[in-house]
Structure 1
Amino acid sequence: MNTLAINQLSTLRWDMQDDALAYANRGFSGIGIYRPKLEDFGLDRTVELLAESSLSATSLSWAGGFTGSDGRRFDEAVDDAMVAIREAANLRAGTLIVLAGGRNNHIRNHVRRTLLEALRRVSCVAEEFGVTLSLEPIHPGCGYEWSFINDLESCLEIIDAVGSPNLGVTLDTYHVGMDDDIVRWLPDVIPHLRLVQLGDGHHCPLGEMNRCLLGEGNVPIATLLQTLRMHNYRGPIEVEVIGEDVETLQYDCILDHAKGFLDRVLPDATRATLS
């Protein structure tokens, strides 16, 4: 059955220990690790905490930015990805999420070549460490500086060009779920799918990322989950809720709502998690 998890961005102001306790107490068996929190708490302490809490690291966020859009040089971004791979290996993380980087005033062919070169280098090291990488498409309305890979078709083209068995896809429903073609694309994506992140929104992303509580927006999450199960997706599912629409809510309320939503749409999975 799918491992159900919460991504730490959902409880950004809490520390690692608070996150682990709250997630485990609600019956979640996974946690999506955010690297700044990992750095604050320490890798060794985090490994011990996950074991004590019976939580698995479903993902580590993130590596990438290879195009220089975040101010780093190409080699700096690649070196940082190598560090992240070692962190992911120690955490036994299900996947290391990779963001391509923005266009950064370059032509598309240039940034594509840059990304391919980076992924080929990084994938070789990931294979040695037994770490799975997953490229995440980001909606241009809220993440043009993070990634020039904005849709599933572009993501699959890059994966095919790299040709590494360790490279797959992270599908975040907030970024791609309002695409009318999403259900049509899912059967092609599922063989490469390493992680599903659940996010909802009242409208297509525009400006700052602004997610709402699951099931209260316009992303057809229940339909997408049904399609994934129909095509036998058994990988991890993370909840990621962050943005202006939820910033006034207590984190406990957000987690309780997420648990209730998953109980309704994935009752078999939540029972398996708690058994």
Structure 2
Amino acid sequence: MEESGERYEAAGVKGISVWRQYLEGRNIAQAGERLRNHGLEIVSLVRGGFFPSTSAAQRQIAIDDNLKAVDEAAALGAEMIVLVCGADPGQSLTVSRKQIQEGIERVLPYAIANNVKLAIEPLHPMYADTRSAVNTLEQANDMAESIGSDFVGIAADVYHLWWDPHLEQEIKRCGANGNLLAFHICDWVSPTVDMLNDRGLMGEGCIPIQQIRGWVEEAGFRGFNEVEIFSDRHWAGDQDEFLQKIVASYKSC
């Protein structure tokens, strides 16, 4: 994290979301302060979720872990936790979605008490087996509206949502309800050689990023455009060069 803070500041980056594994063994409050000293706003903590299971004991373990994530977000100074909601292939998606909502509702009072929001991130249907039973923005909107709290909203990632023929209207719906908390960008490379780690720089693929960004801004979103590129190809290279490429593609696309 120290290196990221230094390099991001030098590159003119103004925000960062922190993955939980990088907080292990650290004084979390001090880590947050160091990032802010580099001029970085801590947008979110990544990630909570993974609520569904055929096992009641495993569901309780997930609840406990999400309560811990709230503590971490509060100590770090992150205003929200991004939820990768989870799924269990041993049960129906309907049951998994019910367990997701129940899990969020159990964590919510503690999140409110600690002033931490919970952002549901719908994931591409190719992840519906284990990573998330919430696969469209419509489903995420339905769930957020059913819960009905100012502390529950949605993180919209173009990688997961770009294919959806109802995306524009669901973004409008999300914004109208005040539920659009985060916006993530990258690109879909074709052909994709890895389901998880083959995302592209903006402009390398086929996602209409500018159009979707326009919809998001028309819906009232004024937060960060967060670059999230999982890529074995890009990670294998020099990371200073990768950061430069990210900034260049961000400005051009």
Partner residue of 2:151? 166
C-alpha distance in 2, partners of 1:69/1:193? 31
Q: Percent identity?
A: 25
Q: Does 1:236 align with 2:243?
A: no
Moved more, 213-222 or 202-211: 202-211
Could you state the TM-score of these two structures normalised by the residue count of structure 2?
0.90
1:64 corresponds to which letter in structure 2? G
Q: Is the CA contact 2:119–2:181 (under 8 Å) kept in the aligned structure 1?
A: yes
Distance 1:219 1:48, change over 3 A: same
2:50 is matched with which residue: 38, 52, 65? 65
Partner residue of 1:222? 210
Aligned length: 250
Quote the RMSD (CA, aligned, Å).
2.2
Moved more, 129-138 or 102-111: 102-111
Partner residue of 1:264? 252
C-alpha distance in 1, partners of 2:182/2:91? 30
**Offset at 1:203?**
3.9
C-alpha distance in 2, partners of 1:32/1:243? 17
Partner residue of 2:183? 196
Partner residue of 2:201? 213
2:246 corresponds to which letter in structure 1? A
C-alpha distance in 2, partners of 1:153/1:49? 38
Matches within 5 A, 1:1-275: 16-68=1-53, 73-142=58-127, 144-190=129-175, 191-203=178-190, 207-265=195-253
1:193 corresponds to which letter in structure 2? L
SS at match of 1:87: helix
Could you state the TM-score of these two structures normalised by the residue count of structure 1?
0.83
C-alpha distance in 1, partners of 2:191/2:105? 32
**Offset at 1:182?**
1.9
Unaligned stretches of 5+ residues in structure 2: none
1:259 corresponds to which letter in structure 2? V
Moved more, 65-74 or 20-29: 65-74
Please give the per-residue CA displacement for 1:18-45, whole angstroms capped at 9, x wherever unaligned: 1111111111111110000121544133
Please give the per-residue CA displacement for 1:32-60, whole angstroms capped at 9, x wherever unaligned: 10000121544133123113212111111
Distance 1:100 1:20, change over 3 A: same
Q: Is the CA contact 1:142–1:208 (under 8 Å) kept in the aligned structure 2?
A: no
C-alpha distance in 1, partners of 2:19/2:68? 14
C-alpha distance in 1, partners of 2:71/2:45? 11
2:139 corresponds to which letter in structure 1? S
C-alpha distance in 1, partners of 2:21/2:237? 23
Q: Is the CA contact 2:97–2:134 (under 8 Å) kept in the aligned structure 1?
A: no
Partner residue of 1:6? none
C-alpha distance in 2, partners of 1:234/1:204? 33
Partner residue of 1:270? none
